[in-house]
Amino acid sequence: MPDTKKFIENLSGAGKCIGVLTSGGDAQGMNAAVRAVVRMGIYVGAKVYFIHEGYQGMVDGGDNIKEASWESVSSMLQVGGTVIGSARCKDFRTHEGRLRAALNLVQRGITNLCVIGGDGSLTGANLFREEWSGLLDELVQSGEISEEASQIYSALHIVGMVGSIDNDFCGTDMTIGTDSALHRIIEVVDAIMTTAQSHQRTFVLEVMGRHCGYLALVSALACGADWVLIPEMPPKDGWEEQMCYKLSENRADKKRLNIIIVAEGAIDQSNKPITTELIKDLVVRCLGFDTRVTVLGHVQRGGTPSAFDRILASRMGVEAVLALLEASPGTPACVVSLCGNQAVRVPLMECVQMTQEVQKAMDEKRFEEAVRLRGRSFENNLNTYKLLSHRKIDSELPHSSFNVAVLNVGAPAAGMNAAVRSAVRVGITEGHTMFAVSDGFEGFYKGQIKEIKWGDVGGWTGQGGSLLGTKRTLPAKHIDKIAEQMRIHNINALLVIGGFEAYLGLMELQAARSKHAELCVPMVMVPATVSNNIPGSDLSIGADTALNAITDTCDRIKQSASGTKRRVFIIETMGGYCGYLATVGGLAAGADAAYIYEEPFDIRELQSNVEHLTEKMKTSIQRGLVLRNENCSENYTTDFIYQLYNEEGKGVFDCRKNVLGHMQQGGAPSPFDRNFGTKIAAKAMQWISKKLKEFYREDEGRVFANTEDSACLLGMRRRALVFQPVVQLKDETDFVHRIPKEQWWLRLRPLMKILAKYKTSYDVSDSGQLEHIVRLRAKDVSAI
């Protein structure tokens, strides 16, 4: 069979010109996308042009269209908004405007456009592409370009990236800017919660989203809001009484505050707007609660981009250049999008049509269809919110008579508490009695087990660390006592939330089933560790928060280095032997190098990195950032690398080192970790309910589960959440170094090197398949 691998070295951009523009509303992460397009374009030998002020700059020409250099995109990564400007452009909507834009592009030989914007901007780009040959004919007839030029520049290629904080574009799970906007919202909600708690207030928050309720829905999930109003799901008639009943019920339950989140486009069943003032008046009139309104407005668009948005935009920018290099005259305009953690290309007009269909369904009051058209990710968020927010009264609950225990194992990870809260509430909704185990397996064998109720986990989503307490103790030595505690409390199922120790612990419990019938119960593990080193899952709870902590610190350090000039920082990250934090943190922070265990390095590589930095100091970017995973090498320690750089860089640059340590485990969880923890734990609990029914033996009146598939790990794999028997993951695990044998993020390492100006080999075999949106939906059945 022929080798079908495709490498970047075989793709050349020589003789090609790429124009990059940002259009429509700004979004954090746009600059990271621009930077990636410019650097990848230059790397493959193309010329790249900034088109300032969006389509207006394309129409006006002149200094608005400037060639970009490698250095011109330095220090852009951490800046919010768009450095090259964006404008709403009426001229481009006219035929004359597009004719002027075509002339300006042809004069500079630009026939490849990378458009970063919302659906309006991308639709405009597609129209421009369809008219291109006609526009060139007109320019030839008016004598403004030659016949020869119209032949050379006969095809215009367009690749779009969606920059929109609303996440209102179909065909991609996340748009650039959405995660950062959620960060801004959650920062505000967390701050409001402390003041609301002091005064027992109700807060009504308005978030952006004129036609899409994504921000409102996910922020409501991430902060455990009491009520949420979004355009896709108008509340049923009589919602006012229902909402007030729920608010008063929560107050009676000793909850000192209420949070109501409203999307700016929220409507009722008759398509009438529901405003924050209307809700405030309603709460004051019906309940007499002290109520305040906060409209977040443009705060949501501002601030520095999150680690997620920087990585998303960098990956999309590189993918966009690859798509332009591979485009032929017949290739339809495409959008580079994200599905699970895969970068894919989707036909632009399919996405636009689907996005317009959502609006049409809403206008025609086909709301359930609108939710379905938004995609699985939106639908799952909505279903999880419904599952967690509406507390049923005891008489409504199914009564299962099953007892389910939840515990945290390993080191603390931000988002663990959100997962516990979700598991407890879903378990109660399913009719189970929930038990909380303190201090992991250590607390288990000591009998630190008590029932946990709905109200006990209120306000847990935003709390960092582990409120249940967590330990690294493994169960094997204490298996008799653990089995005894299982019997005493009649535990029928286990949910373990934790890191590598949780994975090992589950294997040990399963291995002990032959000796202890008490352990023959359904068990499931949800990965939660900052190191992201769990086999069977591409991501784990806590890793995103740790990445943001690393990225924030690196931003500050870069600022310090820029001030002093000619300074290189060596930064040590956590992760055990897993290089995820160092690599992905390096990509998000714009590092020059990242040393990891998975990619062995020697003194020659260290020497070439020093030489590379020496060359860099001759340019206008006189600073360096090098990340080192804590266990990347036994002998090339952080001190050794620091001393080597110091010695070799004498007279050219000086060096500083910084060990980030446990700050990576602390802090409030990021919106992504809150949301991921909430959804994955809810799914784990639903699996437990299913397995309890499956393994219940009527004749014996007990649960008996002794099959491989009754002890599973629930992980995110490419595009879906998958239950995998832990026994089957053994072969995928390097137990000595506590890492999976294969790790998806290693494919991102060449990106980091390319964006730091290193020549490297990059396997682009995964790129280039144009996927259709309908197929995406079918595949995406259990995406988060």
Rounded Cα distance, 520 and 533, in Å: 27
Cα 628 to Cα 75, 596, 638, 644, distances in angstroms:
21, 6, 7, 14
Residue with tokens 């040990």: 508
Listed in sequence order, the residues at least 6 apart from 605 whose beta carbon sits closer than 8 Å to its beta carbon are: none
Q: Where are the beta strands (DSSP E) in 97-233?
A: 112-117, 157-162, 202-207, 227-229
Rounded Cα distance, 155 and 67, in Å: 21
Q: Are strands 696-697 and 654-659 parallel, antiparallel or unpaired?
A: unpaired
Q: Quick check: 136 and 145 in contact, CB under 8 A?
A: yes
Q: Quick check: is 281 catalytic?
A: no
Q: Are strands 47-51 and 65-67 parallel, antiparallel or unpaired?
A: antiparallel
DSSP code at position 622: -
Which H or E run contains 241? Answer: helix 239-252
Rounded Cα distance, 329 and 314, in Å: 26
Selection from 378, 371, 339, 346 nearest residue 357 by Cα = 371
Rounded Cα distance, 491 and 521, in Å: 8
Determine the residue type at 368.
E
Select which of 119, 166, 544, 592 is catalytic.
Answer: 166
Exposed, middle or buried by CB within 10 Å (0-12, 13-18, 19+), for 479?
buried
Three-state SS at 784: coil
Question: In the 3-class helix/strand/coil scheme, how is 401-429 assigned residue by residue?
Answer: CCEEEEEEECCCCCCHHHHHHHHHHHHHH
Rounded Cα distance, 198 and 193, in Å: 9
Cα 388 to Cα 214, 761, 776, distances in angstroms:
17, 47, 28
Cα 552 to Cα 100, 537, 558, 674, 766, distances in angstroms:
43, 26, 10, 19, 31
Rg of the chain over Cα atoms, rounded to whole angstroms, equals: 27
Q: Quick check: 310 and 35 in contact, CB under 8 A?
A: no
Q: Quick check: 474 and 504 in contact, CB under 8 A?
A: yes
Phi, psi of 440 (to 5 degrees): 60, -145
CA neighbours within 13 Å on the CB side: how many for 106?
26
Q: Quick check: 745 and 580 in contact, CB under 8 A?
A: yes
Rounded Cα distance, 150 and 144, in Å: 11
Q: Quick check: 406 and 436 in contact, CB under 8 A?
A: yes
What number of other Cβ atoms are within 10 A of residue 663's Cβ? 14
DSSP code at position 771: P
Listed in sequence order, the residues at least 6 apart from 551 whose beta carbon sits closer than 8 Å to its beta carbon are: 78, 306, 307, 310, 585, 588, 589
| Residues marked as catalytic | 166
